[in-house]
A and B are shown apart, each in its own frame.
Chain A
């Protein structure tokens, strides 16, 4: 009875929407176009500037927002990948290493803990949960200086572990997984698996894990992005250039280019610009191609 009621309501809504569609919504579209221009403006500038040589950057024939008459993208690329012994590629590799290991690790921990919180009334659960929710409100940047102090005490600064291990901490990911697991895994299913003689690990791997996949992709994407984009933590705990992720490396170049104002640094500006462009391509591609996963997942936290 109710189901039929909902269906007719949906149909009615669709027909209303269908009738409303032909009416062009000019105001809304103008608003959207303005927003798109604003959000893409820096990227457009970056793409255009990447194709300019040192001269074109400052006094190009097309101005700041259009291409110069000389097209130097490939020269710049060659310079970027060979400058200083190819350190930029090394930075990209480091970013990839930190983001993938930190992201995969954090996601694995979040899946396990989220499932544990959602499906077991273990002693101390309420207290742990209160701690977890409290820690979601502790900004991770607040932990950077304390983490640095602690790691330097045990002599672990300036190693890859100083970036990877703290990146495993993702309380919000655990919270997302818990919220998702609570609804996505029916208790009856777990009980049935248990009655059939499956152990807890087997139940988790064969029954629960497949059901958690959409949320797991979301948490993975968010963790990878968080680690890839991180700046404060690696800046604080690393001191050798060849361990830097690309964010800290570009920051280093920017500082050098600014302090050594005048001649001889213009090539560094080109490197910073093209280096920025190259480093953001992988994540933008990942987001655009995986959007059907994360779009639903982001909503989980907000609906509760």
Chain B
């Protein structure tokens, strides 16, 4: 029983994984290109080309009198001094800082409980917690919008019991929490499943060893399980960060019923969308889109570089 410690996390990979693709075999190597090429084409046409084209567009400005003129980094200078863009950027950053720990706490707690309890109720709960992932964000936002609204939702009724009037959950102060709730509801189940799957991959003999050493269930959860699913947590954090900085659907859907609390420049993506479609400023919208994508990409890359052990992925 003492040797159990050596059977650490059950990674599905064998030593073969590392020798794959080193090409010691007799297979022709360059034929790999043929397999990668179809995706490569889509990659070039729908990822590289739009980015290059948007960057090109962002270098021009359109004026009423002057027409389209080359303005170099003018649009970027404008963006990073534009209070509407910066306000939106600040919002998504602050929103991420509050949302992500909350989401991770909910999903980690749910996953740990589901890993420890194996009753029918637990299996049922696991599915039900995951269900919101299968629901489009538009519909998630619509449903919560209805629940928040005094006309459709239960709030007026609930507060009526205490002879109080229901708060406007989409007011300018409350909208932050209202959106926080929608996004937590939408994504926690998905993150829970990822953590749960990682927890299930842990060799259970580790828990036995810990129990013999006198660890209680809380200690096993916090000292063994959580550290061993750290890479799943990093993955979730990155997903959540990328998604939240690009926040668009939920505020866009809730905007009409928010009485102006959700402005057209509420998030950078909403701003870019409204610039492109309501104001026909495609050049400036491209600059905003590009700047935002770059900020997210660099931020995430730095984060991954700082947290991931070197040479882990490539």
Contact = CB atoms under 8 A, between A and B. Distances in A.
Nearest to B10: A303
A141 B248 contact: yes
A200 B31 contact: yes
Contacts of B81: none
Contacts of B312: 304
Given A121-B21, A139-B245, A284 B43 contact: no
B201 to A, nearest CB: 6
Contacts of A126: 314
A112 B38 contact: yes
Interface stretch (B62-70, B93-101, B147-155, B172-180): B147-155
Contacts of B256: 254-255, 258-259
A148 B239 CA distance: 24
A284 B20 contact: no
B242 interface: yes
A180 B245 CA distance: 29
B279 interface: no
Interface in A94-153: 108-110, 112-113, 115-126, 128-135, 137-139, 141-150, 153
A97 B13 CA distance: 37
Contact of B29 (A121, A247, A254): A121
A210 interface: no
Interface string B1-30: 101100101011110110111110111111
A226 to B, nearest CB: 10
Given A10-B205, A168-B42, A150 B49 contact: yes
B30 A123 contact: yes
A137 B16 contact: no
Given A39-B189, A254-B142, A284-B135, A113 B38 contact: yes
A42 interface: yes
Contacts of A159: none
Contacts of B9: 303
B238 A137 contact: yes
A229 B136 contact: yes
Given A145-B289, A183-B14, A10 B204 contact: yes
B224 interface: no
Interface band, chain A: 35 or more
A92 interface: no
B16 A13 contact: no
Contacts of A280: 134-136, 139
A288 B3 CA distance: 40
Contact of B42 (A64, A109, A137, A138): A109
Contacts of A35: 106, 110, 125, 129
A71 to B, nearest CB: 18
Interface in A160-204: 165-166, 168-169, 171, 174, 182-183, 186-187, 190-191, 194-195, 200, 204
A8 B29 CA distance: 45
B183 interface: no
B131 A39 contact: yes
Contact of B38 (A28, A109, A143): A109
A63 B4 contact: no
Interface string B113-128: 1101111011011011
Given A149-B54, A299-B197, A288 B46 contact: no
Interface in B157-208: 157, 185, 188-189, 193-195, 197-198, 200-201, 204-205, 207-208
A64 B121 contact: no
B139 A250 contact: yes
Interface of A is mostly: helix
Nearest to B243: A139
A42 B39 contact: no
Contacts of B43: 131-132, 135, 169, 171
A118 B21 contact: yes
A255 B30 CA distance: 53
B285 interface: yes
Contacts of A124: 33
Interface in A23-50: 25, 28-29, 31-33, 35-36, 38-43, 45-46, 49
Contacts of A49: 146, 152
A63 B38 CA distance: 55
B128 A39 contact: yes
B193 A295 contact: yes
B257 interface: yes
B201 A303 contact: yes
B227 interface: no
Most buried by B among A142, A287, A301: A142
A118 B20 contact: yes
A63 B88 CA distance: 38
B32 A146 contact: no
A103 to B, nearest CB: 14
Tell me which of B16, B32, B252 has the highest count of chain A C-beta atoms within 10 A of its own C-beta: B32
Interface of A: 2, 5-6, 8-10, 12-13, 16-17, 25, 28-29, 31-33, 35-36, 38-43, 45-46, 49, 57-58, 63-65, 108-110, 112-113, 115-126, 128-135, 137-139, 141-150, 153, 165-166, 168-169, 171, 174, 182-183, 186-187, 190-191, 194-195, 200, 204, 225, 228-229, 231-232, 235-236, 247-248, 250-251, 254-255, 258-259, 269, 272-273, 276, 279-280, 283-284, 286-288, 291, 295-296, 298-304
7 contacts: A39-B129, A64-B152, A122-B32, A124-B33, A139-B296, A231-B252, A255-B256
Given A145-B276, A149-B57, A183-B17, 13 more contacts: A63-B157, A112-B39, A113-B35, A113-B40, A115-B35, A116-B34, A120-B23, A120-B35, A204-B35, A247-B136, A298-B194, A302-B198, A302-B231
